[in-house]
């Protein structure tokens, strides 16, 4: 998808006029100036370091006629003011569709690292590639769909099924893009949790787009939560979703956009529509959309609305300011960005980013099983490689762009998503390629069958009935065949039975435009069971877009190890080999729950016009915990080649004055009330590496709240990933913000801290909790 905005060419200073009137302490945008809620000119939001950009934006807009303002908010150029179209591109993996860019790991892989520094490095590198191509605005990072249903088709693009983990990554991504000089455009706002019946444009269902109906508490505590982080991280644009929320289209939803986003969260930037998100002129304008189509917002329509009261001059001015404030905030007006180039132009922006890809890819891999120390590999004599996911696709590495869904299996190595998650590869290192390189240096013999259902009959060229009397070559009689170089029968059981190590590669594919129809695959699972039935050292490698049921074979005695990850980008094969051979000690952790059976999940795909979020906050591990459902692998799970011990948990209040009131008392700033971000509690623990190899441990903090808060059994509220040498120990500190201890008080319409006992649990996953400490407020 391509959306144009506008930007100023060249660097010049504008007079600062129309000073921003700040009013601290307002809970909502009080209408003291006669303007409607949510307008920046109301002064209800303490803009902080956004104020300079606001002043520049106001001064620039003050030079415009109404016709020029309409041109700006519909993405046109204004020659008289030296203003031309900005470029916006999808940003999950790289500048989509461009040549000479880096294919990074997908966002869900990045979330699996549970590492703030790795997240920052990748987001900054992605932003640098956008900047180098002359693109100014990104459609990303992507918070949602969060993972209400494991069948959601776009979970590879997003940042985990927990609001805290998702929010931390979302905020890091926003800040990284803004710091590099790109306007980040977070999406999708809000409750866009599935693809089925999402697209009103061109839909034949008769019920699209669906309405996601959720209560106030659920919206705040689960789905709005990450947008606090994103906006605090200097997000300059937000994409409103195609779906409806509580019966009203997201892109003309006054409660959603003017109320929650612009007033409660203090968002100063522009709201842009997803494709087909805008469906009316005045409804979208008054509902909070800032950038729209000239089909709906023509000069005549806007002026007519101002004249008859359907629209207002104040709204038009506010939209124009919001369309340019992010541009000024990230410094795009300094004139240093390279000019925009076409997708095929030879402008190489890759730098040393392949190193980041390989590092982050390895860090994203989750070790789910490792029986009898099957891993890491140590110079095996022979390896048999199985599955289409191990090798190259027939024509690649890129594939045709689609927003119509995908097959459930990809017939090649899966390292990128589809639709909004689709990346552009300059090259792709497959596992087969990386393994061959390793085998050459270690003297390992390799055999492979790069197909999930291979039999001798597949190679029809060699297996057709032939006239053997005329088939002699080189003095040898008999039919031609693959057995010319070996006496081994060419089928999966035969290859598996003779190998010291068997590697079975499988994947699960989906993408924008359709949800998944299955969480397991008969074809792929049959490959694993066939290999494991003939090889007593079968290692399975899974690349998947989202939760994948493994119970067909996970307990098979010959399945000795399982590596599990999202889509790892252009260095995928190298990242996988780094972990298989122990060059990297695995430290990835699941950003969602893997169930034993499909029926263990509480939410499927909604097929009706109204999708009621009756489960409330209880999605993923929060549902499993509430109803005592035993998962196959819980949220936060992951093994290591090392072993770690936890000790000496302690908790202390670091800001008692901030906890003196039940509700926050600060002014509304960018990212909500300013004191929501105060650090108030510190939880510490010691971790020792008692294993024989160095490694990273992902220590996780979960909080159980007093009953009055009406919260899940426990919620993630901190994580750290220290590197600990064998035999060494370190201390970790989890710093909790006021918002981390707060719940949404529906009656008070504010974040509140309940009085009572809080239990802080520290461990290696949501169910492997090693230490507990309590505190009473």
Reply yes or no: is the peptide bond before residue 376 cis, omega within 30 of 0.
yes
Say if residues 377 and 580 touch (Cβ distance below 8 Å): yes
* Pair of tokens at residue 191: 């409750």
Nearest alpha-carbon partner for 414 in 426, 423, 405: 423
Say if residues 187 and 139 touch (Cβ distance below 8 Å): yes
* Pair of tokens at residue 392: 């190259």
Say if residues 511 and 421 touch (Cβ distance below 8 Å): yes
For residues 438, 443, 444, 445, the Cα torsion angle rounded to the nearest 10 degrees is 120
Q: Annotated catalytic residue: which of 90, 162, 229, 274?
A: 274
* Pair of tokens at residue 545: 């877009």
> How many CB atoms are located within 10 Å of the residue 184 CB?
33
Say if residues 174 and 234 touch (Cβ distance below 8 Å): yes
* Pair of tokens at residue 26: 């307002």
Backbone angles phi, psi at 466, to 5 degrees: -130, 160
Say if residues 648 and 687 touch (Cβ distance below 8 Å): no
Q: Which long-range contacts (CB under 8 A, 24 or more apart) does 298-305 make?
A: 298/70, 299/66, 299/67, 299/70, 302/66, 302/70, 303/66, 305/281
In the annotation, is 768 catalytic? no
Partner residues linked to 88 by β-bridges: 3, 137
Distance CA 428, CA 572 (A): 7
Reply yes or no: is the peptide bond before residue 188 cis, omega within 30 of 0.
yes
Residues 6 or more apart whose Cβ sits within 8 Å of residue 193: 144, 145, 146, 147, 148, 149, 152, 212, 611
Residue whose token pair is 């195609």: 242
Reply yes or no: is the peptide bond before residue 397 cis, omega within 30 of 0.
yes
How far apart, in Å, are the Cα atoms of 146 and each of 113, 151, 165, 212, 483? 17, 11, 11, 14, 51
Residues 6 or more apart whose Cβ sits within 8 Å of residue 13: none
Sign of the Cα torsion 257, 260, 261, 266 reads positive
* Pair of tokens at residue 299: 């000069």
Residue whose token pair is 């989890």: 734
Which positions are catalytic? 274
């Amino acid at each position: 998808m391509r959306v144009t905005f506008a930007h100023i060419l060249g660097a010049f200073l504008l007079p600062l006029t129309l000073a921003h009137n700040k009013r601290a302490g307002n809970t909502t945008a009080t209408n003291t100036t006669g303007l409607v809620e949510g307008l920046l000119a109301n002064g209800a939001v303490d803009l902080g370091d956004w104020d300079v950009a606001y002043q520049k934006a106001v001064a620039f807009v003050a030079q415009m006629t109404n016709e020029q303002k309409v041109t700006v908010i519909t993405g046109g150029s204004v020659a008289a003011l030296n203003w031309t179209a900005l470029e916006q591109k999808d940003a999950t993996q790289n500048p989509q569709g461009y040549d000479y860019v880096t294919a990074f790991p997908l966002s869900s892989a990045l979330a699996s690292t549970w590492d703030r520094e790795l997240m920052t490095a990748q987001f900054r590198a992605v932003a640098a590639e956008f900047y180098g191509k002359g693109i100014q605005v990104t459609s990303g990072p992507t918070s949602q769909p969060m993972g209400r249903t494991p069948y959601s088709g776009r979970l590879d693009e997003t940042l985990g099924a927990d609001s805290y983990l998702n929010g931390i990554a979302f905020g890091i991504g926003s800040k990284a893009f803004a710091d590099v000089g790109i306007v980040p455009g977070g999406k999708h706002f809000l409750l866009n949790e599935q693809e089925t019946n999402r697209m009103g444009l061109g839909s034949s269902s008769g019920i699209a787009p669906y309405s996601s109906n959720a209560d106030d508490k659920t919206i705040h505590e689960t789905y709005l939560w990450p947008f606090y982080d994103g906006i605090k991280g200097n997000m300059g644009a937000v994409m409103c979703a195609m779906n409806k929320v509580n019966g009203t289209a997201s892109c003309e939803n006054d409660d959603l956009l003017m109320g929650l986003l612009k007033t409660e969260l203090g968002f100063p930037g522009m709201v842009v529509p997803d494709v087909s998100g805008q469906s009316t002129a005045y409804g979208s304008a008054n509902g909070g959309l800032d950038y729209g189509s000239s089909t709906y917002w023509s000069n005549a329509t806007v002026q007519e609305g101002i004249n008859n009261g359907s629209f207002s001059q104040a709204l038009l001015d506010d939209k124009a300011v919001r369309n340019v404030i992010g541009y000024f905030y990230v410094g795009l007006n300094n004139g240093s960005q390279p000019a925009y180039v076409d997708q095929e132009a030879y402008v190489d922006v890759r730098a040393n980013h392949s190193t980041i890809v390989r590092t982050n890819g390895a860090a994203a891999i989750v070790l789910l099983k490792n029986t009898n120390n099957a891993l890491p590999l140590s110079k095996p004599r022979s390896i048999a490689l199985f599955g289409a996911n191990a090798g190259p696709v027939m024509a690649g590495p890129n594939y045709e762009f689609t927003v119509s869904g995908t097959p459930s299996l990809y017939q090649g190595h899966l390292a990128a998503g589809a639709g909004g998650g689709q990346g552009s590869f300059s090259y792709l290192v497959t596992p087969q390629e990386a393994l061959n390189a390793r085998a050459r240096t270690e003297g390992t013999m390799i055999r492979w069958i790069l197909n999930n259902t291979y039999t001798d009959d597949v190679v029809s060229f060699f297996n057709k009935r032939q006239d053997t009397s005329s088939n002699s070559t080189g003095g040898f009689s008999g039919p031609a065949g693959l057995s010319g170089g070996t006496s081994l029968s060419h089928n999966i059981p035969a290859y598996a039975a003779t190998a010291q190590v068997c590697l079975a590669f499988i994947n699960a594919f989906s993408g924008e435009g359709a949800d998944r129809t299955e969480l397991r695959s008969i074809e792929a699972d049959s490959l694993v069971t066939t290999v494991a039935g003939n090889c007593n050292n079968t290692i399975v490698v899974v690349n998947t877009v989202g939760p994948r049921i493994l119970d067909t074979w996970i307990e098979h005695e010959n399945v000795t190890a399982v590596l599990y990850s999202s889509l790892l980008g252009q260095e995928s094969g190298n990242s996988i080999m780094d972990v298989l051979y122990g060059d990297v000690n695995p430290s990835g952790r699941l950003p969602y729950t893997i169930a034993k059976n499909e029926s263990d999940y509480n939410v499927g795909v909604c097929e009706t016009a109204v999708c009621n979020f009756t489960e409330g906050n209880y999605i993923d591990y929060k549902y499993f915990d509430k109803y005592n459902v035993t998962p196959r692998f819980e949220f936060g799970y992951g093994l290591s080649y090392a072993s770690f011990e936890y000790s000496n948990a302690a908790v202390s209040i670091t800001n008692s004055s901030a906890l003196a009131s039940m509700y926050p008392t600060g002014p509304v700033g960018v990212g909500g009330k300013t004191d929501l971000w105060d650090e108030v509690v510190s939880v510490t623990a010691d971790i020792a590496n008692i294993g024989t190899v160095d490694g990273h441990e992902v220590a996780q903090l979960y909080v159980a709240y007093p009953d009055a808060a009406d919260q899940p059994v426990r919620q993630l509220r901190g994580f750290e990933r220290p590197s600990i040498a064998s035999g060494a120990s370190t201390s970790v500190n989890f710093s909790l913000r006021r918002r981390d201890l707060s719940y949404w008080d529906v009656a008070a319409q504010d974040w509140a801290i309940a009085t009572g006992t809080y239990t802080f649990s520290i461990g290696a996953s949501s169910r492997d909790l090693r230490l507990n400490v309590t505190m009473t407020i």
